[in-house]
């Protein structure tokens, strides 16, 4: 795994508390600050391009060691395995990124953490390495993005586990 860029997990014990909304807003806010953000999504759903009967699903079922789907808006690569660990996903997206924001991976011990609780607007406990933790709401995107941008600009290397 690339230990030279910060990783931040946005997690919650509950569903529908605004994780995806917060991640999307953080990506927008950090991008506006000149930070290149890569994103990783944890899901229990199968890959969207690999729906039963699709060409990519048929290729994978036929025994391909990897299947790449090239579309007009990007590339999706599927390698058959058990659920890949967060480290594999991070490694796949770090090229050209200053920070990785991962949604989910509640049981992982990689990177900083933003824990959402309750229903929107959720309370957010922000735990950044080398800095004091703080509590805010998921709506306070600017404060959270400022903390993440500081982490990037400080040259945080090898973000420690929680």
Which range has the worst mean pLDDT, 21-25, 39-43, 119-123? 119-123
Would you state the pLDDT for residue 47?
Answer: 67
**Separation of CA 24 from chain center:** 10
Would you state the pLDDT for residue 3?
Answer: 64
141: left (phi over 0), alpha (psi -120 to 50) or beta: alpha
Instruction: Render pLDDT for 62-85 as a digit per residue (tens, 0 to 9).
Output: 878 788 888 788 888 877 777 778
Phi, psi of 39, deg, nearest 5: -130, 150
Q: Which domains occur in the chain, in start order?
A: 7-44+82-153 (3.40.50.300)
């Amino acid at each position: 795994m690339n230990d030279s860029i910060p990783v931040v997990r946005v997690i919650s014990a509950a569903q529908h508390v605004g994780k995806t909304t917060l991640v999307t807003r953080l990506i927008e806010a950090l991008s506006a600050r000149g930070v290149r953000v890569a994103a990783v999504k944890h899901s229990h759903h199968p890959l969207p391009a690999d729906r039963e009967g699709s060409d990519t699903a048929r290729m994978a079922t036929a025994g391909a060691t990897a299947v790449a789907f090239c579309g007009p808006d990007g590339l999706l690569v599927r390698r058959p395995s058990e659920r890949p660990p967060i480290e594999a996903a991070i490694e796949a997206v770090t090229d050209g990124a200053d920070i990785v924001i991962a949604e989910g991976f509640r049981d992982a011990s990689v990177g900083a953490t933003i824990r959402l609780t309750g229903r929107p607007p959720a309370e957010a406990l922000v735990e950044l390495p080398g800095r004091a933790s703080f509590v805010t709401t998921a709506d306070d995107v600017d404060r959270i993005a400022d903390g993440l941008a500081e982490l990037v600009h400080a040259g945080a290397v090898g973000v420690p586990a929680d």
